[in-house]
């Protein structure tokens, strides 16, 4: 399993760099849930961050606490899927195409078992884990995924992060760990 040996050092780096960002879990449903925000009455857009990591195999490869979920995809299956398709289908932002009012809150809630980021980028690119960049074909990291800038966009398992939609135009968001996880927010009325 040569690929796993190549991927593990980069992923282990991730474990040491993620720390324990603050974030409280937030109840709510997937893409259909809309609630009033305390931000001037604007509707909050919701994004679920999901993955399917199997805790036994991910923690065996990456260390205790790397996966705290109840997923079924083994680490070996994850690497094999990335090698074959350049994505792991169960690692995604749900919804990945959003409309939002100017400046409206966007709440990204992590329903997966791993830590992710929800990082605003100018252009989609790779993240900060070289092995996952290589396996996913994202060889040029997005500058916003570099440390320390990326630090404010970590979303631990069960946590949430709120960001504001742009005043106009579109905004791109990606996970700087799993760079195929992407979302585009378009301001309504643009």
Q: What is the CATH number of the domain that holds 160?
A: 2.60.40.420
Which of 120, 122, 136 lies closest to 179, judged by CA?
Answer: 136
Can you list the positions of beta strands (E) in the chain?
35-36, 43-50, 92-94, 97-100, 105-110, 116-117, 119-121, 154-155, 160-164, 170-174, 182-187
Low-confidence ranges of the chain (pLDDT < 50): 1-40
Span 37-49, pLDDT tens digits: 334 456 899 999 9
The answer to whether 61 and 122 are in contact (CB under 8 A) is no
Question: Mind listing the pLDDT tens digit for each residue in 54-67?
Answer: 999 999 999 999 99
Against a cut of 0.85, is the pTM above it? no
Give the chain's domain count.
1
pLDDT at 190: 53
pLDDT at 188: 84
Cβ atoms of 174 and 185 within 8 Å: the answer is no
Residue 124, both tokens: 């989609």
Q: Domain residues for 66? A: 2-187
Q: Which two tokens mark 102? A: 């100017």
What pLDDT was estimated at residue 78?
98
């Amino acid at each position: 399993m040569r690929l796993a040996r190549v991927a593990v050092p980069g992923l282990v780096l991730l474990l040491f760099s993620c720390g324990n960002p603050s974030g409280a879990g937030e109840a709510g449903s997937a893409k259909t849930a809309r609630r009033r925000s305390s931000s001037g009455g604007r509707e909050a857009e919701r994004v679920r961050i999901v993955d399917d990591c199997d805790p036994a195999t991910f923690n065996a490869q990456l260390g205790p606490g790397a996966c705290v979920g109840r997923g079924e995809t083994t680490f070996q299956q994850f690497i094999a899927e990335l090698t074959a398709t350049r994505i792991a289908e169960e690692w995604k932002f749900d919804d990945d195409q959003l409309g939002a009012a100017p400046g409206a809150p966007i709440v990204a809630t992590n329903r997966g078992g791993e830590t992710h980021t929800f990082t605003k980028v100018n252009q989609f690119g790779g993240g900060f884990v070289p092995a996952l960049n290589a396996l996913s074909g994202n060889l040029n990291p997005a500058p916003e995924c570099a440390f320390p800038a990326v630090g404010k966009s970590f979303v631990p398992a069960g946590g949430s992060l709120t960001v504001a939609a742009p005043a106009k135009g579109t905004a791109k968001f990606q996970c700087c760990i799993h760079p195929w996880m992407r979302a585009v927010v378009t301001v309504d009325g643009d």
